[in-house]
Amino acid sequence: MNIPDMRRPEALWAHMRHTLAFYAPRVKDETGGCFQFFKDDGTVYDRRTRHLVSSTRFVFNHALAWRWFGGPVGDVAHALAFVNQAHAQPQGGYAWVLDWQDGRATVLDGTNHCYGLAFVLLANSHAAQAGVAGAKEGIAATFALMEQRFWEPAHGLYADEATPDWQVGPYRGQNANMHACEAMLAAHAATGEPRYLDRALTLATSITQRQALQAGGLVWEHYNTDWTPDWDYNRDDKTNIFRPWGFQTGHLTEWAKLLLMLERCLGDAAPGWLVTTARHFFDTAMKHGWDEVHGGLVYGFAPDGEVCDGDKYFWVQAESLAAAAWLAVRTGDDTYWQWYDRLWAYAWQHFVDHEHGAWYRILAPDNRKVTDEKSPAGKTDYHTMGACQDVLAALGVQPPAQETT
């Protein structure tokens, strides 16, 4: 199978367009928000369930379409309005899962997740760059809410979840903090306010330096209330996609990418460990995560380095190729370009749906398809199109100037 030269901006733009074309004709629900459950051919198989993660990520998708291709700003505003009007709750939080019918929302799961708030912050940040009314205010309000309800200054990290009336639970996790770091970088890009960049650095330092020292220099996922590692959390449960057990190949590479983005933003003030840690995370992920038999990166590996989940997930490949590009540009080490090309070749052959568009979500260890559900709740191809955008950023390619409303 011939693959374009994915180091060329034109190839990355074409792939983003190809993915957007899968969602564009069918994603918008005129009664509010976006549909969130798609079969391989684009058939919507659940028109009512709305997950906060998908609702916010579709804001990102529409903002990406606006930024690079002049897509309608109205679509960005439409997606953000659903977050603010349907998911937002009277107690000040955002419902995790809704049932949406006839223009009315019924809360199915009202749990407040810091992970969800991180994506509310990300959504407002990208909407603000598109000039959507109220989005800049949304950035400040979401940051304040995270500060009030989840921030633990003694640890320099966010707690993870709370009941609808804001009783914070005992679980602590790195995933919410990683995406909070991503969102802080986006908030800084949208506003220029130093506090968001400062918070991104604090989060990165806490997870990838202090916490990593408790886990052999890598990022463990789960922690007790005092931020000591919980080595057994979800050990025997593969169903929780937001809290998987083991070292996550894709989270190591995602952190590598974020550390290099943070370094670029900080400029001369950047600490030297950002690059060395990024290299260590990526190199370790490739060492333990690459499947030498079938290709591709596995989902997770155990503390002893053995694979604990050999399934192949779309986002792991996407985040890793973006990290490879950032490392290649930053270090000048051609090894990272070789990884970039290898990851794209694998994804192009096995994950990209060349007929209908977008990427398949999950494959078996031997790359067999295991489901015809391409994009259930949580998957909007934010990771895949975001990876293309991140590679363009690594290369220094700027989007064309677009008019804001």
CA 245 → CA 222, 234, 252, distances in Å?
A: 8, 5, 14
In angstroms, how far is CA 222 from the centroid of its own chain?
Answer: 18
Residue ranges covered by each domain of the chain: 9-394
- Compute the Cα dihedral for 225, 230, 235, 238 and give only its sign: positive
Contacts of 185 by beta carbon, 8 Å cutoff, 6+ apart: 196, 197, 200, 258, 261, 262, 265
E strands, 174-266, in order = 222-223, 247-248
- Over residues 117-137, the pLDDT tens digits come to 999 999 999 999 999 999 999
- The contacts of residue 159 (CB under 8 Å, 6+ apart) are 114, 150, 151, 152, 168, 169, 172
pLDDT of residue 48: 98
What is d(CA 126, CA 132) in angstroms, rounded to the nearest whole number? Answer: 9
Ramachandran class of 398: left when φ > 0, alpha when ψ lies in -120 to 50, beta otherwise: beta
pLDDT at 405: 61
Report pLDDT for 240.
80
Q: Do 329 and 390 contact (CB within 8 A), yes or no?
A: no
Residue 311: Cβ-neighbour burial (10 angstroms; 0-12, 13-18, 19+): middle
Q: What is the mean pLDDT of residues 145-151?
A: 98
Specify the pLDDT at position 241.
Answer: 77
d(CA 36, CA 33): 9
Specify the pLDDT at position 219.
98
pLDDT at 401 over 90: no
Q: Which residues are catalytic?
A: 251, 383
Predicted confidence at residue 321, as pLDDT, reads 98
The torsion angles phi and psi of 216, rounded to 5 degrees, stand at 65, 25
In this predicted structure, which of 40-54, 73-87, 228-242, 382-396 has the lowest mean pLDDT? 228-242
Q: What's the rounded Cα separation, in Å, for the pair 140 and 192?
A: 12
- At 101, phi and psi to the nearest 5? -150, 130
Please report, for residues 20, 273, 378, the alpha-carbon distance to residue 39 in angstroms, rounded to integers and kept in the order given: 15, 43, 14
Q: Which residues pair with 369 in a beta bridge?
A: 363
Reply yes or no on whether the pLDDT at 404 is more than 90. no
Distance CA 5, CA 203 (A): 35
The share of the chain scoring above pLDDT 90, in percent, equals: 96
Over 70: is that where the pLDDT of 164 sits?
A: yes
pTM: 0.98
Backbone angles phi, psi at 253, to 5 degrees: -75, -35
Q: Closest Cα partner for 89 from 117, 115, 70?
A: 117
Strands 49-51, 38-39: pairing kind = unpaired
* Rounded-to-integer distance, Cα 332 and Cα 350, Å: 29
Q: What is the percent of the chain with per-residue pLDDT over 70, rounded to a whole number?
A: 100
pLDDT tens profile 342-369:
999 999 999 999 999 999 999 999 999 9
Residues 6+ apart with CB under 8 A from 199: 143, 180, 184
Mean pLDDT, rounded, of the chain: 97
Of 151-160, 242-251, 328-337, the least confident: 242-251
CATH code: domain 9-394 is 1.50.10.10
CA distance 122 to 328: 26
Long-range contacts (CB closer than 8 Å, 24 or more residues apart) made by 155-159: 155/206, 155/227, 156/202, 156/203, 156/205, 156/206, 156/210, 157/203, 157/206, 157/207, 157/211, 157/227, 158/114, 158/203, 159/114
Question: pLDDT tens digits for 210-248?
Answer: 999 999 999 999 999 999 999 999 998 877 877 899 999
- pLDDT digit string (tens) for 269-278? 999 999 999 9
Average pLDDT (358-383) is 97
